[in-house]
Amino acid sequence: MNLGHLPSLEWLNLGYNQLGHNQPPSGLSFLASLVNSTRLEFLGLEANDFSGEIPNCIANLSTTLDQLVLSYNYIYGTIPRGIGFNNLSGVIPACLSNITGLLLLSLESNMFHGRIPASLYFTWEKTLFEGSIPSSFKALRSLEVLDISSNNISGNIPQFLGEFALVQFLNLSHNKLGGEVPKKGLFSNVSAFSVVGNYRLCGGIEALQLPSCPPNILKTKKEEFPWRLIPLVVLLPLATLLACLTFVFCRIKKSKQQNGPVFVFQDTKYPRLSYQDLTLTTLGFSQNNLLGQGGYGSVYKGILESESLQQIVAVKVLNVEAHGANKNFLAECEMLRNIRHRNLIKIITACSSTDITGNDFKALVLEFMKNGSLDKWLHPSPSGQENKKNLSLFQRLNIAIDIALALDYLHHQCPTKIIHCDIKPSNILLDEEFVARLSDFGLSRFFLTSVGHTQTSSIGVRGTVGYIPPEYGMGGKVSAEGDVYSYGILLLEMFSGKTPTGSSILMDHANNLHHYVRKALPHRVMDIVDPRIKVQTEDHNFLEDKSLIRSNILSRMEICLALIFEVGILCSVEMPKERICISFAIKQLHLARDKLLLHGCKQL
């Protein structure tokens, strides 16, 4: 194989072939022919039966290469001064930190050992690392996923990990960590982290059900406290001075504020509420009224009272210190003010004011959704009442159609086309009748079209790992096709019960949820369906037509699921232009629902 005459080559994907079949151990030697491809950014060679060691020539591509995929081959040996995936061994070389162009490095499922290089931060699942978590991790505050599970990492869990506001999931499971589990920040939400398989841990939040920490740990903390007190005593005068200056600054800032809040909506149909009004509405932003929280801020349940009625509302208080918070607040206000649809969350009003300390305060007042988010129904917490929640096949299908209709409205029926940019289960809310509403428009983008010109923006585009379309990661502009991709992943998740970033997907040797489902179609549909859907068929009392036998029900159910999964696959293909439009997805999902209704399986 000679690719040396392609100096302008930027993207080369040869994955999922048999290029290494019946090749000598030096099957990767052809990489030397790419030495002149100085613009190469992506090289995919996964699942090709290559064997042998990675040649040293790979280091010549390190200045331009963004992604190198060698997974699912038979490559062995130590890492050269380049990159590696498979059954590789040895110590991670420090020179990896010099590859400045690298955007993605996956080292999972190898046999690396030694200490984690303090200059790297990637995914180190099942790599046999040892030692403690380095303190240099403090600087990695832009991380969204940190997975160092199934290693030999020991020591205590650093408190600073709880301060990572952007982390979607922290996986520390199956290591040798010990000591007390932190309780603050990220560690206050049991669904945001995992520490299972670390049998020396204690304490933590009640949902972890870990044993209480022994007295010797508490005693150690008490013995260390006097040493910490010394710098506090030394710095006390300075701290007092800073507190006084801060107080004066806040007073000056507050005196410059206008009397009362700045009203975001001038239209009189939106109530004008101040910080004090919302404090009363939520009973002082009580923890008892807290519905959920994340990097964006917190959502509280409240009762909005007027002269004529009482209305239950959800008050979304934004974290004004988060990056881009003000921009996202204004964007969400603008979006919600201009859209009207049964399957989009309704805004009641917005408040931009100051709190009692003079700091900025921004909040959205939205309609209250009694049944919460779809995420809590698909992936209930292992503790508490949530684990009893379950959605039937018919309910899930109705919700899927609701969200598709919402996207069709945003993409094709609005006066100004809108791209949502963050389709995921936690942004889908359910009312008391399980009618779905799409929410959280903070990342949304207007798609302005004038004669002969289209304006779009990819600057600052963010989303959620697992749902972001691949072209966004390569600098592509936001598009309706990007929303369709995210919707396709959501659809596969709803009916398989698998999260797109779940470890069970990788254990099944699938690169992502799309490939996991695609491999099962069309003959193994029932092998991948969410087991909680299949439980519905065990009860025959719900059948409207008593003549229907169980085998017939399963057959109809399988046909319906195959059609739904096929829609999800067609929505989430890699190339944007090959994805189906959302209107076609709606048509196919309606067809699946009609099949259920026709055969009396409405309650499945």
CB 501 within 8 Å of CB 512: no
The 8-class DSSP code of residue 23 comes to: -
Token pair 């790979």 is at which residue?
58
DSSP letters for 289-327: GEEEEETTEEEEEEEEE-SS-EEEEEEEEE-TTSTTHHH
DSSP, collapsed to helix, strand or coil, labels residue 198 as coil
DSSP 201-245: EEE--GGG-PPPPPHHHHHHHHHHHHHHHHHHHHHHHHHHHHHHH
Examine residue 7 and say whether the peptide bond preceding it is cis (omega within 30 degrees of 0).
no
Task: Using alpha carbons only, give the angle 357, 358, 360 rounded to the nearest 5 degrees.
Answer: 115
How far apart are the C-alpha atoms of 30 and 2, rounded to whole Å?
A: 7
Residues near 411 by beta carbon (within 8 Å), at least 6 away in sequence:
417, 418, 419, 480, 483, 582
Q: How far apart are CA 436 and CA 406, in angstroms?
A: 9
Indicate if 422 belongs to the active site. yes
Catalytic residue among 147, 277, 422, 530: 422
Q: Which of 127, 116, 120 is nearest to 149 (CA)?
A: 127
**Number of helical H runs and strand E runs in the chain:** 13, 24
DSSP state for residue 373 in the 8-state scheme: B
Q: Starting at the edge strand that comes first in sequence, how are the strands of the sheet with 130-131 ordered?
A: 130-131, 152-155, 176-181, 200-203
Q: How many CB atoms lie within 10 A of CB 486?
A: 26
Strands 436-438 and 87-91: unpaired
Extract the tokens encoding 159: 């408190």
Burial grade of 226 (CB within 10 A; 0-12, 13-18, 19 or more) = exposed
**Pairing mode, strands 200-203 and 176-181:** parallel
Taking CA atoms, 254 is separated from 48, 236, 259, 358, 565, in Å, by: 65, 27, 9, 5, 55
Measured CA to CA, the distance from residue 409 to residue 177 in angstroms comes to 50
Query: 3-state DSSP call for residue 464?
Result: coil
- Extended beta strands in 420-560, E state: 428-430, 436-438, 445-450, 453-455
Largest CA distance in the chain: 84
Rg of the Cα atoms in the chain = 27
Contact partners, residue 273, CB within 8 Å, separation at least 6: 261, 281, 304, 349, 351, 365
Neighbouring CB atoms inside 10 A of 108's CB total 17
Cα–Cα distance for residue pair 146/445, rounded to 1 Å: 28
Q: In 306-452, which ranges are E strands?
A: 310-318, 347-354, 360-367, 417-419, 428-430, 436-438, 445-450
Q: Which residues participate in catalysis according to the annotation?
A: 422
